[in-house]
Structure formats: structure tokens, C-alpha cells
Amino acid sequence: MPADDFLVGDYRMSDWESEDKKQALQRLVGEYFGDCPEERLDEIRAAKKKRARRLCKKLGCHKESVVLEIGSGMGLTSKHVARRVKQLICSDISTSFLELAKKECADVQNIEFVKIEEEPAQFSFPDESFDMIFSDAVFIHLNLYDIFWYFSEFQRLVKRRGRVLINVMDSSKIEAPLFDQMAEFYRQDRNNLKTLIYWNSVEAVIGIASRFGFKLKSKGRMWGLVKPANLDLLFSKK
């Protein structure tokens, strides 16, 4: 797909809508691929494919798995996850990202796309619809109240012994340059909070998950598109 065709449309429905390809990609991959990520799409796609493989291994995905993704972005990870499972539901708050994801995943048949109308999300899926839920580089933008209500919804949606994988920024290891940058953005526009990075107490997140019947199975540094690295948390429903 040519770089010029990667982003199209004129959407401004949320903080994550963008018609500018550089801005949209920077919101998805940060500064990891430099100042012009739109010129490095092949590298980004390769990294996302590798990340998808690791996510599926952690989650234990197989050909009968029904999976929900929270914050699918442009579908760069989604298309590779979908090829390893029975069905993947991609959800996002951004209409423009969902449209891009549909194009990116056009050759994959077992994907559906759902718009998250407001956060924290409440889905219309029946109880215990999913074997697994994952959210990659999304919960780093959520505060503890958001996380609380998402796990409340996960409790309803995930089957017994199902798994949930999220990643968070560890508040015990705050990186000063990035924090200072986020603090400056906050000072400039306090109403535009959803695009900020939040550092949370890992123990607090684990405690919230436990309240909704999820047990921590593993935690480990996420190495990949987020710079600096954040922490992957894998939970299993009791």
C-alpha cells in the first residue's frame, strides 16, 4: 500500500481522529520510527506482525479462539492476530482508525469492526462471548477509573478461564523526559486528556482486576513500538 494512500478521510469525532498521516502514525507508534513514520510503513508492519505473534503466544490463541481487541488502531496488529484465531472483533473509539483498519484487513475474512461510542466501553455482546481480550498500547492512556470499568465489562464478556492482556505504564519507574512532555501537553490543553500517557500503580491495576475475578498470570516488559518499554499484564478469569 503506497504511503500516500494510507490515510484518507476527514474525521474529527474524538481526540484520536486525524486526517494527517504523520500525526495518526505518531499517535500509534510514538517516536520509535522517527519524525517521518509514514515513510517507514514496511518496518512498522513488520514490527506489528512480530508483536501479533508474541501476543497470540501469551494469550494462548488457537484456531477456535474468539477474540476481542480494544483499540485496534489501523489494524496493523489485528490482521495477523485474525489469521491465528476463529474470529476477531476489532473495536476502537476512532472512526478514522476503523476505516483504515478495514482497508488494512481487507483480505482477512474473519474480522468484524465495532465503534466504541464512549469510554469506558459498554459492549452489546452477550455474556461470556470471548475466549480472550487484548488491548495493545491503549491502557497506557487510561486512568484507574477507566481501568476499573473496563475490567467490570471484561468480567461479563470473558468465558471462565479466559484471558485478558493489557499493558500499562509502571508508576514506580517514571521516565522524566516523557513525563515532562506529557505534563506540558496537560498544561496546554487539560480538556484533551485521552491522548496523554498515564503512569499507574501496577499493584493497583492487579488489585482492580482481582476484584472482578481475574488472576495475574504473568507480567513482563513490552519491547516493541512503545518507547520507553511498558509492562504487559496477562490475567486469567477464575
pLDDT 10s digits, 172-198 = 988 888 899 899 989 998 877 777 889
**Identity of the amino acid at 43:** E
Residues with Cβ within 8 Å of 119's Cβ and at least 6 positions away in sequence, in order, are 93, 142, 146, 194
pTM across the whole model = 0.87
CA distance 120 to 142: 9
CA 167 to centroid of chain Cα atoms: 8
Q: Model confidence over 58-102: pLDDT tens digits? A: 999 999 999 999 999 989 999 999 999 999 999 999 888 898 899
Residues with Cβ within 8 Å of 143's Cβ and at least 6 positions away in sequence, in order, are 198, 200
CA distances from 38 to 5, 57, 93, 161, 199 (A): 10, 29, 22, 40, 28
Indicate which CATH number applies to the domain containing 48: 3.40.50.150
**Domain around 43:** 3-237
Choose among 138, 142, 173, 149: nearest CA to 55: 138
Cα dihedral across residues 43, 193, 139, 82: positive or negative: negative
The confidence score (pLDDT) of residue 147 equals 97
Q: In the chain, how many domains are there? A: 1
On the question of pLDDT at 223 being above 80, the answer is no
